[in-house]
Amino acid sequence: MTDKLIIFDTTLRDGEQSPGASMTREEKVRIARQLERLRVDVIEAGFAAASNGDFEAVRAIAGQIKESTVCSLARANDRDISRAAEALAGAARSRIHTFIATSPLHMEKKLRMSPEEVLEQARLSVRFARNLCGDIEFSAEDGYRSELDFLARVVEAVIAEGATTINIPDTVGYAIPELYGNFIRQLREKVPNSDKAIWSVHCHNDLGMAVANSLAGVKIGGARQVECTINGLGERAGNCSLEEVVMAVKTRRDYFGLDVGIDTSQIVPASRLVSQTTGFVVQPNKAVVGANAFAHASGIHQDGVLKARDTYEIMRAEDVGWAANKLVLGKLSGRNAFKQRLQELGVDVASEADLNAAFARFKDLADRKSEIFDEDIIALVGDSARAAEPDHYRFVSLSQHSETGERPQARVVLMVGGEEVVVESDGNGPVDATLKAIESKVQSGAEMVLYSVNAITSGSTESQGEVTFRLQLGGRIVNGVGSDPDIVVASAKAYLSALSKLHAGVERVPAQG
């Protein structure tokens, strides 16, 4: 057994399955590049057979990522597996991840297949996949609620067919750490050829134990791969959080005795990027990446930390990429200084044109905001990248008037499919008037399920506002994010971005369907 723990990131596949977290291809590529900088071992880029959009996203990521293995999910059938192989064809290193449910409940009610049929389908699918790719992961969906002897037969059969990684998901987040760890251990003991594959854990967070269960799967069960997502993004209550599992194994190396290849200084930038892209805000008290994770408010703690840091700190903020509100650039800073700071922050700008667009936004921001922090720069690069995408609706300008005792008025200039349109409305407040003006043209009829405003940098009203809208229409949920020092403008940008995603209307097959 090795002492390396493989980090398999599924932010772009399982994470994206959270309602409202769907991402465009460009957004996925941007996140994949950050995951590569983070040095994750495997990037699950998507589920190629789910839709043409998913296929293209996997293909684009496979074409750009050189250091990490790129993986696509596929149900255990020849069509899904062929689509995955096709999408991964350009990858430097690729993996096909095929799965079928093995619990009595899923086999009987969902698949309507007998256990013997499931076993045969698993075997044939891995055989088929192995002819297309040398690196095959097999997942027994709802594995933790499966019958141990049956699961052992399935796993033995797929290893014999050439599966190189065996993943045992706790699909519904039902496990308890000790029980899950023992389950993995017993299963490995029952499978005669268990040493021919790497064992993997994949835990959902329904009872808040995804990280604990994954770590027990490693420590007690002997798993050497953990499947996880940035910020714990994922279906329902989410997946095992990458940052927590990585920092637990690193900080408690004395206990786990394992190495991880992650560049931890890229954790906070990755967390920010995923949160800004999906609009899933990170709670302030979230371990490692929450805004308060390294803040000491009580006098006793502050005093202790000033005297000796390790009195109250078990990790160093800078080791996970916190640059803590550092004032970096101002109005007079030039393009080179801006470019250098982006490089220091590990922010990737795809082309000179993107750099120029981001620099123009920086100058515009510096005219309106005297102090520019690292967080502002990260946000405005995200904004320029969003602006470079072919959105159907795009913000141009806004003027609005509000006065105590009067109904606010808004006038918005926007581009609709390349054509400039001017719209006006009044409303209950400036944001309401702005949205009503936009809706008077777009007439989406979408239901607003979330409107959130966050300050990008803390501690001052000068901060940029970052707005997220989550809209629902006909069973689809999309997020739009926008940032600006003026929160009404940020709201208009976010709303138009969400409407553009609705307009793009991509349909897909659910992974656990």
Binding site for ligand KIV (CB under 6 A): 14, 99, 139, 141, 169, 171, 202, 204, 511
CA separation for the pair 440, 173 (Å, rounded): 44
What residues are designated binding site for Mn(2+)?
14, 202, 204, 239
Q: Work out what residue 139 binds among Zn ion, ligand KIV, none; the CB cut-off runs from 5 to 8 Å by kind.
A: ligand KIV
Strand partners, 416: 393, 419
* Collapsed DSSP state (helix, strand, coil) of residue 437: helix
To the nearest whole angstrom, how small is the minimum distance from the Cβ of residue 14 to Zn ion?
A: 4
CA separation for the pair 19, 170 (Å, rounded): 20
**Residue whose token pair is 């920092």:** 247
Nearest CB to ligand KIV, comparing residues 76 and 423: 76
Q: Work out what residue 123 binds among ligand KIV, Zn ion, none; the CB cut-off runs from 5 to 8 Å by kind.
A: none
CA separation for the pair 357, 42 (Å, rounded): 32
To the nearest whole angstrom, how small is the minimum distance from the Cβ of residue 89 to ligand KIV?
A: 22
Q: Work out what residue 34 binds among Zn ion, ligand KIV, none; the CB cut-off runs from 5 to 8 Å by kind.
A: none
Q: Total residues contacting Zn ion (rule CB under 5 A)?
A: 1
To the nearest whole angstrom, how small is the minimum distance from the Cβ of residue 262 to ligand KIV?
A: 21
CA separation for the pair 453, 434 (Å, rounded): 15
Alpha helix stretches (DSSP H) within 38-114: 52-64, 78-87, 104-105
Nearest CB to Zn ion, comparing residues 14 and 54: 14
**338 near 359, Cβ under 8 Å?**
yes
To the nearest whole angstrom, how small is the minimum distance from the Cβ of residue 86 to ligand KIV?
A: 20
Nearest CB to Zn ion, comparing residues 169 and 279: 169
Q: Work out what residue 511 binds among Zn ion, ligand KIV, none; the CB cut-off runs from 5 to 8 Å by kind.
A: ligand KIV
CA separation for the pair 77, 406 (Å, rounded): 63
- List, edge to edge, every strand of the sheet that includes 447-455: 447-455, 465-473, 476-484
Residues 6+ apart with CB under 8 A from 327: 371, 372, 373
To the nearest whole angstrom, how small is the minimum distance from the Cβ of residue 70 to ligand KIV?
A: 16
Identity (one letter) of the amino acid at 200?
S
To the nearest whole angstrom, how small is the minimum distance from the Cβ of residue 235 to ligand KIV?
A: 7
Nearest CB to ligand KIV, comparing residues 171 and 464: 171
Nearest CB to ligand KIV, comparing residues 202 and 286: 202
To the nearest whole angstrom, how small is the minimum distance from the Cβ of residue 166 to ligand KIV?
A: 11
What residues are designated binding site?
14, 202, 204, 239
Q: What is the DSSP letter of 206?
A: T
Q: Which residues in 1-60 contact Zn ion (CB under 5 A)?
A: 14
Q: What is the DSSP letter of 232?
A: G
Nearest CB to ligand KIV, comparing residues 17 and 497: 17
Alpha helix stretches (DSSP H) within 449-486: none
Nearest CB to ligand KIV, comparing residues 80 and 484: 80
CA separation for the pair 56, 34 (Å, rounded): 19
Across 193-272, where does the E strand assignment appear?
Answer: 198-203, 225-228
By beta-carbon distance, which residue lies closest to Zn ion?
A: 14
* Collapsed DSSP state (helix, strand, coil) of residue 239: strand
Residues that bind Zn ion (CB under 5 A): 14
